[in-house]
Homo-oligomer: A and B are copies of this chain.
Amino acid sequence: MKKTKQEIVADYRRSAILDAARTVFARRGFAGGILDEIAQEAGIAKGTLYLYFKGKEELYKAVLDHDMRTLRQSTLNRVDAAATLREKIAAFTLVRLQNGDARREFFRIMDQEQQNLTMTRTQYSDWVREPVEHLAAAIAEAVSRGEIRDVPAEKVAWNIADITRGAIQRRLMGRSSGTVEEESDYLTGFVWAALEKSPAP
C-alpha cells in the first residue's frame, strides 16, 4: 500500500526529531537535554514533539533503541560473515570504528549511558553483549581446534571490545590521525599476537 503524503511528512518529521534529539542528548546528556532546544534544532515547536513522542524519556529511548539496534545488527552481520577468527576480530573492530566515525553523537551518548534508564538496561546490555558473545564463541572454537593458545574466550572477547571502544573514544576526542582501517589492522594485530600459539622467531 502506497504511503500517503501525510505519512511521508510524518516520517520525515519523526526522523528530524530523532536527529535533533541525538544531537542535543549527545551534547548535554539525558538530564541536561532540553526539549525546547531539541524542538528548535528540529525546526518545529515544542508542542509538536508531543505529537510524535510521549515525552522526554520516550524520545531518549527512541534514539538509543534505533542506534543500538543498528550497531548491534551491523556488527553481527559482519562478524558472522567473516570466515576465520582473525577475520572476525578484524571485522568487529572495523565495524565499530566505522560506526564511531560515522555516528559520533550516538557514541557520545553510549559513553554516558552507563546507569541511567535502569528499567530498560537489561535490553540494552543484551544488545551490547550479543556481538561480544559471538566473538567469544568463535574464540572458544578456535581454542578447541588448537588454532590459538588456550585463553578464556569470554574475557578475551571483552578485552577486544574494550580496546576498540577506547580507540573510538580517542578518535572522538580528536587524537589519533590514521584511517579506521589502519586502526583496525593495528588492533587486530595486537590481539592476534596475544592469541597466537608460536610466532616464528
Contact = CB atoms under 8 A, between A and B. Distances in A.
A162 to B, nearest CB: 3
Interface in A74-113: 108, 111-112
Interface residues of A, number: 37
Nearest to A27: B115
A186 B149 CA distance: 14
Contact of A116 (B29, B163, B191): B29
Contacts of A190: 151, 155-156, 159, 194
A198 interface: yes
Contact of A193 (B29, B31, B193): B193
Contact of A166 (B32, B158, B170, B198): B158
A146 to B, nearest CB: 13
Nearest to A149: B193
A78 B31 CA distance: 38
A36 to B, nearest CB: 16
A72 B138 CA distance: 37
A12 B43 CA distance: 52
A47 interface: no
Given A108-B114, A112-B115, 15 more contacts: A29-B29, A31-B31, A111-B114, A151-B190, A155-B190, A158-B167, A159-B166, A159-B187, A161-B166, A162-B163, A162-B165, A162-B167, A165-B166, A193-B193, A193-B195
A167 B111 CA distance: 16
11 contacts: A28-B31, A111-B114, A151-B190, A152-B186, A158-B166, A159-B163, A162-B165, A191-B194, A193-B193, A193-B195, A197-B201
Which of A28, A167, A186, A194 has the most C-beta atoms of chain B within 10 angstroms of its own C-beta?
A194
